[in-house]
Amino acid sequence: MRMTDAEQIVIVGASLAGATAAEELRNDGWTGGIVLIGSETKLPYERPPLSKGVLLGKDQTDVAQLHDQQWYDDNNVNLRLGTTVTGIDTAAHTVTLDDGSQVSYSKLLIATGSRVRRLDLPGADLPGIHYLRTADESQALTDAYAAKPRVVVVGAGWIGLEAASAARERGCEVTVVEPQSTALAAVLGEQVGELFADLHRQHGVDLRFDTGVEGFEGTDKVAGVRTSDGEVIPADLVIVGVGVQPNTELAADAGIEVATPDNGSGIVTGPDLRTSAEDVYAAGDVVRWEHPLFGRPVRVEHWQSAKDTGKSAAKAILGQDVAHDALPFFFTDQYDLGMEYAGDVPRGASYQVVLRGDPASGAYLAFWLDDDRRLLAGMHVNTWGATDAIQDLIRSGKQLDPARLADASIDLADV
């Protein structure tokens, strides 16, 4: 059933996904009410610049802003910042705000995103321990880098490595502590993860793998990181990057189906991003949708997915047929390395890694093949223009010859 202009769409989460959905609603001709509600006081923004140009001191946080206030005024989007939704009544079609008032909806989009995982360890509340998620946190960190402190990064994931890269480029002494055997092991596997570890070693980062953190030392400010092997690493500044968790509590409290952490977390939807509750949809980091191409549910915590699911959710809300099959995609910039990755390797899956090109040259491709030699994911490093071909190979589902895939003289379209 198509909506009428007298109806109102409420979006919970003034996030990239939420703001993108509002923009798509207007682009698709929706002239009815849109209420976009967010807990932060800043206009909706993108997160990638926060761990890249802003940390390098090259950009201000306002470069991440999606639109200025005039855009929301001109497009009749009722933007309510500094406001938290505390409850959803799916039967009454209302949301309750932190001031006790209620807002009615005809359709509701939950785009509440995710939050950083915080360490519950002795000394974890000491000043000088930073997390990186919001614009304010990014600005605080880049200001702190200016003094060239001794930096310890807890976690060798994407955020941790980008923070480490920026710190080294700003002239800081950097140590990374990671309980796994190498960088990005859970995401890329040990073989490719070690290539990123080598990149950081070449730039002077002290990497401590197979090492956990047991606490933080200091009185008025953090002064050191106590590791699982008993060492205390001196630190003027600590950055914790140990992942995020989706903000599903609002949905769960409303009786909307949510996956358990053991089952991937996230608000459960079909390919149309429709939740188990009538007239309620989900988008962004928080959604775990049934992927039509993969034939299994996925949840993606990256910028492109927030944009893609925001657009698809808007179309579904307006009654269009939606089967959201966008491939997961993300990118990183570290030192002189630029990388783009497309696809998805399920946790625990067995795979074969195929490299094309010489990693020592600084330009190569990597592919992850399943047991049937079908492409699960692929990435390029400083080999621009390869992403579309990688995505085509994933979508084709065809069996690939690893030798031809590794042969740089053969065009990817012909492997």
The structural domains of the chain, with segments of one domain joined by +, span 8-115+245-317, 118-242, 336-414
User: What integer pLDDT is reported at residue 262 of this predicted model?
Assistant: 77
CA distances from 396 to 326, 374, 400, 414 (A): 14, 9, 10, 12
User: What integer pLDDT is reported at residue 5 of this predicted model?
Assistant: 60
CA atoms within 13 A on the CB side of 295: 3
User: What integer pLDDT is reported at residue 1 of this predicted model?
Assistant: 44
Spell out the residues 6+ positions from residue 239 whose beta carbon is closer than 8 angstroms to its own. 130, 131, 132, 141, 151, 152, 153, 154, 160, 163, 164, 167
**Strand pairing class (150-154; 237-240):** parallel
User: What integer pLDDT is reported at residue 6 of this predicted model?
Assistant: 66
The values of phi and psi at residue 327, to 5°, are -80, 135
For residues 412 and 381, the answer to whether their CB atoms sit within 8 Å is no
User: What integer pLDDT is reported at residue 290 of this predicted model?
Assistant: 98
Segments of the chain scoring below 50 in pLDDT: 1
Burial class, 209, CB count within 10 angstroms (exposed 0-12 / middle 13-18 / buried 19+):
middle
Q: How far apart are CA 267 and CA 249, in angstroms?
A: 10
CATH superfamily for domain 118-242: FAD/NAD(P)-binding domain (3.50.50.60)
Spell out the residues 6+ positions from residue 332 whose beta carbon is closer than 8 angstroms to its own. 158, 161, 162, 338, 339
**Strand pairing class (287-291; 296-298):** antiparallel
What topology does CATH give the domain 336-414? Enolase-like; domain 1 (3.30.390)
Q: Do domains 8-115+245-317 and 118-242 have the same CATH topology?
A: yes
Q: Which CATH number fits domain 8-115+245-317: 3.50.50.60, 3.10.110.10, 3.40.50.620, 3.40.50.300?
A: 3.50.50.60
User: What integer pLDDT is reported at residue 263 of this predicted model?
Assistant: 79
User: What integer pLDDT is reported at residue 4 of this predicted model?
Assistant: 64
Q: How far apart are CA 343 and CA 359, in angstroms?
A: 21
- pTM for the full model? 0.95
User: What integer pLDDT is reported at residue 264 of this predicted model?
Assistant: 83
Closest by CA to 300, choosing from 346, 353, 262, is 346
